[in-house]
Homo-oligomer: A and B are copies of this chain.
Amino acid sequence: MAFGPAAMGYDRAITIFSPDGSLYQVDYAFEAVKKGWTAIGIKSKSGVVIASEKRKAQSLLDVDSIEKIFLIDDHVGCSFAGLASDGRVLIDYARNIALQHRLVYDEPVSIDYLTKSVADVKQMYTQHGGVRPFGVALVIAGIDKTTPKLYMTEPSGQYMPYYAVAIGQGYYTATEFLEKNYKEDLSMEDTILLALRTLSATLKPNEKLTPNTVEIGYASVQTGIFLKMTSEDKNMYLQKL
Protein backbone atom coordinates (compact mmCIF):
# COMPACT_ATOMS: atom_id res chain seq x y z
CA MET A 1 0.00 0.00 0.00
CA ALA A 2 1.67 3.23 -1.12
CA PHE A 3 -0.08 6.42 -0.14
CA GLY A 4 0.90 9.99 -0.66
CA PRO A 5 0.90 12.11 2.47
CA ALA A 6 -2.75 12.97 1.91
CA ALA A 7 -3.73 9.46 2.83
CA MET A 8 -2.22 9.53 6.28
CA GLY A 9 -5.13 11.18 7.99
CA TYR A 10 -4.31 14.87 7.85
CA ASP A 11 -6.90 15.38 5.17
CA ARG A 12 -9.88 13.82 6.89
CA ALA A 13 -10.53 15.95 9.89
CA ILE A 14 -11.49 19.56 9.67
CA THR A 15 -9.32 22.38 10.89
CA ILE A 16 -6.15 20.35 11.29
CA PHE A 17 -2.74 21.30 9.95
CA SER A 18 -0.66 18.73 8.08
CA PRO A 19 3.08 18.54 8.86
CA ASP A 20 3.83 20.94 5.99
CA GLY A 21 1.39 23.54 7.30
CA SER A 22 -1.47 22.84 4.87
CA LEU A 23 -5.17 22.61 5.65
CA TYR A 24 -6.21 19.80 3.31
CA GLN A 25 -9.97 20.27 3.80
CA VAL A 26 -9.59 23.81 2.51
CA ASP A 27 -7.57 22.57 -0.46
CA TYR A 28 -10.21 19.96 -1.26
CA ALA A 29 -12.93 22.56 -1.03
CA PHE A 30 -11.04 24.43 -3.77
CA GLU A 31 -11.37 21.31 -5.92
CA ALA A 32 -15.13 21.79 -5.78
CA VAL A 33 -14.52 25.30 -7.12
CA LYS A 34 -12.54 23.94 -10.06
CA LYS A 35 -15.53 21.83 -11.12
CA GLY A 36 -17.89 24.80 -11.33
CA TRP A 37 -18.97 26.72 -14.41
CA THR A 38 -16.33 29.24 -15.54
CA ALA A 39 -16.72 32.85 -14.42
CA ILE A 40 -14.52 35.78 -15.50
CA GLY A 41 -14.03 39.10 -13.74
CA ILE A 42 -12.21 42.07 -15.33
CA LYS A 43 -11.44 45.54 -14.00
CA SER A 44 -10.28 48.30 -16.34
CA LYS A 45 -10.04 52.08 -16.17
CA SER A 46 -13.58 52.27 -17.53
CA GLY A 47 -15.31 49.85 -15.18
CA VAL A 48 -15.81 46.21 -14.21
CA VAL A 49 -17.31 43.19 -15.95
CA ILE A 50 -18.32 39.73 -14.77
CA ALA A 51 -19.11 37.11 -17.41
CA SER A 52 -20.24 33.62 -16.53
CA GLU A 53 -21.13 30.64 -18.65
CA LYS A 54 -24.25 28.54 -18.11
CA ARG A 55 -23.95 24.97 -19.35
CA LYS A 56 -27.05 23.09 -20.41
CA ALA A 57 -26.01 19.89 -18.63
CA GLN A 58 -29.46 18.48 -19.25
CA SER A 59 -31.57 19.52 -22.21
CA LEU A 60 -34.68 20.03 -20.04
CA LEU A 61 -32.96 22.35 -17.62
CA ASP A 62 -34.56 25.78 -17.84
CA VAL A 63 -31.20 27.48 -18.24
CA ASP A 64 -32.81 30.89 -18.77
CA SER A 65 -34.16 30.83 -15.24
CA ILE A 66 -30.80 29.99 -13.70
CA GLU A 67 -28.93 32.96 -12.33
CA LYS A 68 -25.15 32.99 -12.33
CA ILE A 69 -24.61 36.71 -11.81
CA PHE A 70 -26.14 38.24 -8.73
CA LEU A 71 -26.79 41.85 -7.83
CA ILE A 72 -25.59 42.51 -4.29
CA ASP A 73 -26.38 46.21 -4.26
CA ASP A 74 -26.79 48.97 -6.87
CA HIS A 75 -23.05 49.32 -7.33
CA VAL A 76 -21.80 45.78 -6.92
CA GLY A 77 -22.43 42.34 -8.39
CA CYS A 78 -21.03 38.88 -7.93
CA SER A 79 -20.66 35.43 -9.49
CA PHE A 80 -19.35 32.16 -8.08
CA ALA A 81 -17.96 28.76 -9.02
CA GLY A 82 -18.34 25.62 -6.92
CA LEU A 83 -21.18 24.22 -4.83
CA ALA A 84 -24.24 26.20 -5.89
CA SER A 85 -25.98 25.82 -2.54
CA ASP A 86 -22.93 27.10 -0.68
CA GLY A 87 -22.70 30.05 -3.05
CA ARG A 88 -26.34 30.92 -2.40
CA VAL A 89 -25.75 31.10 1.34
CA LEU A 90 -22.83 33.50 0.94
CA ILE A 91 -24.66 35.71 -1.58
CA ASP A 92 -27.56 36.00 0.87
CA TYR A 93 -25.05 36.99 3.49
CA ALA A 94 -23.46 39.61 1.21
CA ARG A 95 -26.83 41.12 0.36
CA ASN A 96 -27.62 41.39 4.04
CA ILE A 97 -24.34 43.16 4.74
CA ALA A 98 -25.05 45.64 1.95
CA LEU A 99 -28.61 46.22 3.11
CA GLN A 100 -27.65 46.71 6.74
CA HIS A 101 -24.99 49.17 5.69
CA ARG A 102 -27.52 51.28 3.82
CA LEU A 103 -29.88 51.17 6.77
CA VAL A 104 -27.29 52.13 9.35
CA TYR A 105 -25.06 54.56 7.42
CA ASP A 106 -27.42 55.63 4.66
CA GLU A 107 -24.75 55.05 2.02
CA PRO A 108 -23.59 52.14 -0.13
CA VAL A 109 -21.24 49.63 1.47
CA SER A 110 -17.63 49.82 0.28
CA ILE A 111 -16.68 46.82 -1.83
CA ASP A 112 -13.58 46.26 0.33
CA TYR A 113 -15.68 45.95 3.44
CA LEU A 114 -18.29 43.80 1.71
CA THR A 115 -15.66 41.38 0.44
CA LYS A 116 -13.91 41.24 3.80
CA SER A 117 -17.21 40.43 5.54
CA VAL A 118 -17.88 37.50 3.23
CA ALA A 119 -14.28 36.30 3.54
CA ASP A 120 -14.43 36.48 7.35
CA VAL A 121 -17.35 34.04 7.33
CA LYS A 122 -15.34 31.72 5.11
CA GLN A 123 -12.29 31.92 7.43
CA MET A 124 -14.44 31.05 10.43
CA TYR A 125 -15.62 27.88 8.68
CA THR A 126 -11.98 26.76 8.33
CA GLN A 127 -10.94 27.20 11.94
CA HIS A 128 -13.81 25.96 14.05
CA GLY A 129 -14.92 22.33 14.46
CA GLY A 130 -18.29 20.88 13.50
CA VAL A 131 -18.51 22.58 10.12
CA ARG A 132 -16.87 22.19 6.73
CA PRO A 133 -15.35 25.01 4.66
CA PHE A 134 -17.48 26.64 1.96
CA GLY A 135 -16.84 24.88 -1.38
CA VAL A 136 -17.16 28.00 -3.43
CA ALA A 137 -15.10 30.93 -4.79
CA LEU A 138 -16.72 34.31 -5.37
CA VAL A 139 -15.88 37.02 -7.88
CA ILE A 140 -17.09 40.35 -6.51
CA ALA A 141 -16.96 43.42 -8.75
CA GLY A 142 -18.31 46.95 -8.63
CA ILE A 143 -17.62 50.66 -8.44
CA ASP A 144 -16.74 52.37 -5.15
CA LYS A 145 -17.72 55.93 -5.97
CA THR A 146 -15.62 56.13 -9.18
CA THR A 147 -13.05 53.43 -8.50
CA PRO A 148 -13.50 50.02 -10.13
CA LYS A 149 -12.98 47.13 -7.69
CA LEU A 150 -12.51 43.43 -8.39
CA TYR A 151 -11.96 40.74 -5.76
CA MET A 152 -11.88 36.97 -5.66
CA THR A 153 -12.47 35.16 -2.35
CA GLU A 154 -11.17 31.60 -1.87
CA PRO A 155 -12.64 28.82 0.32
CA SER A 156 -9.87 29.59 2.86
CA GLY A 157 -11.25 33.06 3.45
CA GLN A 158 -8.32 34.65 1.64
CA TYR A 159 -9.27 37.36 -0.83
CA MET A 160 -7.15 39.27 -3.27
CA PRO A 161 -7.65 42.27 -5.56
CA TYR A 162 -7.23 41.42 -9.25
CA TYR A 163 -7.09 43.20 -12.59
CA ALA A 164 -8.64 40.13 -14.09
CA VAL A 165 -9.48 36.75 -12.65
CA ALA A 166 -11.08 33.48 -13.70
CA ILE A 167 -12.62 30.69 -11.58
CA GLY A 168 -14.25 27.35 -12.38
CA GLN A 169 -13.53 24.69 -14.99
CA GLY A 170 -11.95 27.06 -17.50
CA TYR A 171 -9.81 29.03 -15.04
CA TYR A 172 -6.48 27.78 -16.41
CA THR A 173 -7.15 28.58 -20.06
CA ALA A 174 -8.93 31.80 -19.17
CA THR A 175 -6.06 33.02 -16.98
CA GLU A 176 -3.54 32.32 -19.75
CA PHE A 177 -5.75 34.20 -22.24
CA LEU A 178 -6.18 37.13 -19.86
CA GLU A 179 -2.46 37.36 -19.10
CA LYS A 180 -1.79 37.73 -22.84
CA ASN A 181 -4.63 40.11 -23.69
CA TYR A 182 -5.36 42.21 -20.63
CA LYS A 183 -4.69 45.96 -20.70
CA GLU A 184 -5.81 48.36 -18.03
CA ASP A 185 -6.91 51.20 -20.32
CA LEU A 186 -9.78 49.55 -22.10
CA SER A 187 -13.08 51.19 -22.89
CA MET A 188 -16.16 49.74 -21.19
CA GLU A 189 -17.11 48.04 -24.46
CA ASP A 190 -13.65 46.53 -24.92
CA THR A 191 -13.63 45.33 -21.32
CA ILE A 192 -16.90 43.49 -21.95
CA LEU A 193 -15.59 42.07 -25.21
CA LEU A 194 -12.39 40.88 -23.51
CA ALA A 195 -14.50 39.04 -20.93
CA LEU A 196 -16.53 37.33 -23.66
CA ARG A 197 -13.43 36.47 -25.70
CA THR A 198 -11.84 34.98 -22.61
CA LEU A 199 -14.94 32.89 -21.95
CA SER A 200 -14.99 31.78 -25.61
CA ALA A 201 -11.37 30.69 -25.31
CA THR A 202 -12.36 28.18 -22.62
CA LEU A 203 -14.96 26.45 -24.78
CA LYS A 204 -14.44 23.25 -26.70
CA PRO A 205 -13.92 23.67 -30.47
CA ASN A 206 -17.55 22.86 -31.29
CA GLU A 207 -19.05 25.07 -28.57
CA LYS A 208 -20.15 28.67 -29.00
CA LEU A 209 -21.42 31.35 -26.66
CA THR A 210 -25.09 32.28 -27.11
CA PRO A 211 -27.23 34.78 -25.23
CA ASN A 212 -28.69 31.74 -23.41
CA THR A 213 -25.39 30.28 -22.23
CA VAL A 214 -23.66 33.40 -20.96
CA GLU A 215 -24.56 35.95 -18.33
CA ILE A 216 -22.90 39.35 -18.24
CA GLY A 217 -22.90 41.95 -15.50
CA TYR A 218 -21.02 45.23 -15.68
CA ALA A 219 -20.63 48.63 -14.10
CA SER A 220 -18.94 51.65 -15.68
CA VAL A 221 -17.16 54.31 -13.64
CA GLN A 222 -19.53 56.87 -15.21
CA THR A 223 -22.78 55.39 -13.92
CA GLY A 224 -21.42 53.46 -10.97
CA ILE A 225 -24.39 51.11 -11.40
CA PHE A 226 -23.95 47.33 -11.75
CA LEU A 227 -26.29 46.03 -14.45
CA LYS A 228 -27.12 42.60 -15.84
CA MET A 229 -27.07 42.69 -19.63
CA THR A 230 -30.28 42.06 -21.59
CA SER A 231 -30.53 39.28 -24.14
CA GLU A 232 -30.47 41.80 -27.02
CA ASP A 233 -27.33 43.48 -25.75
CA LYS A 234 -25.67 40.12 -25.20
CA ASN A 235 -26.50 39.23 -28.79
CA MET A 236 -24.99 42.48 -30.04
CA TYR A 237 -21.75 41.91 -28.18
CA LEU A 238 -21.52 38.26 -29.19
CA GLN A 239 -21.72 39.27 -32.84
CA LYS A 240 -18.68 41.49 -32.37
CA LEU A 241 -16.47 38.63 -31.19
Q: Which residues of A contact B (CB under 8 A)?
A: 6-25, 28-35, 43, 58-62, 65-66, 82-86, 88-89, 92, 116, 119-120, 122-123, 125-135, 150, 156-165, 175, 178-179, 182
Contact = CB atoms under 8 A, between A and B. Distances in A.
Given A12-B9, A25-B17, A59 B179 contact: yes
A85 B11 contact: no
Q: What number of copies of this chain does the assembly contain?
A: 7
A85 B17 contact: no
Contact of A60 (B119, B134, B179): B179
Nearest to A62: B161
Contacts of A119: 85, 88
Contacts of A182: 60
Identify the interface centre among A19, A62, A157: most chain B CB within 10 Å of its CB: A62
Given A12-B13, A17-B133, A127-B132, A60 B156 contact: no
A82 B123 CA distance: 14
Given A17-B28, A160-B66, A128 B129 contact: no
Contacts of A135: 17, 21, 23
A106 to B, nearest CB: 23
Contacts of A32: 17, 21-22
A16 B12 contact: yes
A205 B135 CA distance: 39
A164 B146 CA distance: 41
A83 to B, nearest CB: 7
B17 A162 contact: no
Contacts of A89: 120, 123
A89 B119 CA distance: 10
A144 to B, nearest CB: 11
A28 B19 contact: yes
Nearest to A160: B61
A33 B20 CA distance: 10
Contacts of A163: 60-62
A113 to B, nearest CB: 12
Nearest to A18: B28
Most buried by B among A6, A88, A128: A88
A167 to B, nearest CB: 12
